[in-house]
Amino acid sequence: MTHPPEKSPQTVWNAVDAYFSEQLVGHDPVLDAATADADAAGLPPIAVAPNQGKLLHLLALTQGARRVLEVGTLAGYSAIWLARALPDDGELLTLELDPKHAEVARGNLVRAGLEKVVEVRVGRAADSLAALVEEGVEPFDLVFIDADKPSNPEYFRRALELTRPGSLIIVDNVVRGGRVADAGSTDPAVVGTRALHALIAAEPRVSATSVQTVGSKGYDGFTLARVVS
């Protein structure tokens, strides 16, 4: 007896993500155009998936967020999802190293009608975060960390300085195919993400969990940390 070829896990994950997004997220011309412009400009296809973008949106709404900080803008895809959860007087500040990414993002944010709500700040996120702490800005209600993974511990420490009890800190890409569980890894992204977990484990000011995800972005996951004191 012959069997049909088995579908690869990724093929199944893609089909399920497409199904969920079709049912619950839908198509949005502004978001689709943001993705198209990112692709046309040659940016890497690493934005959050549509159903993940909506998760960020729902979390921002659940937070009642008025001020959101994002580390890692790319083309502004996740920024659009987050900014659409904000009230009229809300603000999203997103930090990006690459001026070309920032330029594409600004175009996408203008198309989304969000240019008054979102500021894209170009530079090393570590420098921008230090400057924000120095300025003593009003605390953020939600922080989304999604830039260079080796710097995750530094970004998380800065996020703690820039939030208040009740704020939510989300970190993307904390699983990376399961490599995070490899204590012997020398991959700087894995080392950074393991250092992030050690930091959080020893940090009494947050209550946190990490969850594994599969989907169109492969096998990965998020850390969610609520600032409790």
Binding residues for ligand SAH, rule: CB under 6 A, are 46-48, 72-74, 77-78, 95-98, 101, 124-125, 146-148
Number of neighbours of residue 159 by Cβ within 10 angstroms: 26
How near is the Cβ of 68 to ligand DHB at its closest, in Å?
17
User: Which of the listed partners (ligand SAH, Mg ion, ligand DHB, none) does 155 bind, with a CB threshold of 5 to 8 Å by partner kind?
Assistant: none
* 172 is a site residue for Mg ion (CB under 5 A): yes
How near is the Cβ of 172 to ligand DHB at its closest, in Å?
5
Question: Are the CB atoms for 215 and 202 separated by under 8 Å?
Answer: no
Q: 3-class SS at 137?
A: coil
Comparing CB distances to ligand DHB, the nearer of 87 and 188 is 188
Rounded to the nearest angstrom, the gap between the alpha carbon of residue 191 and the centroid of all alpha carbons in its chain is: 19
* 70 is a site residue for Mg ion (CB under 5 A): no
What letter does residue 175 receive in the DSSP assignment?
S
User: Which of the listed partners (ligand SAH, ligand DHB, Mg ion, none) does 101 bind, with a CB threshold of 5 to 8 Å by partner kind?
Assistant: ligand SAH
Closest CA to 63 of 212, 210, 164: 164
Comparing CB distances to ligand SAH, the nearer of 69 and 74 is 74
Comparing CB distances to ligand DHB, the nearer of 126 and 137 is 126
Show the site string, 132-151: x = touches Mg ion by CB under 5 A, - = not: --------------x-----
**Cα dihedral across residues 145, 149, 153, 154: positive or negative:** negative
**Cα dihedral across residues 82, 46, 29, 95: positive or negative:** positive
What letter does residue 176 receive in the DSSP assignment?
G
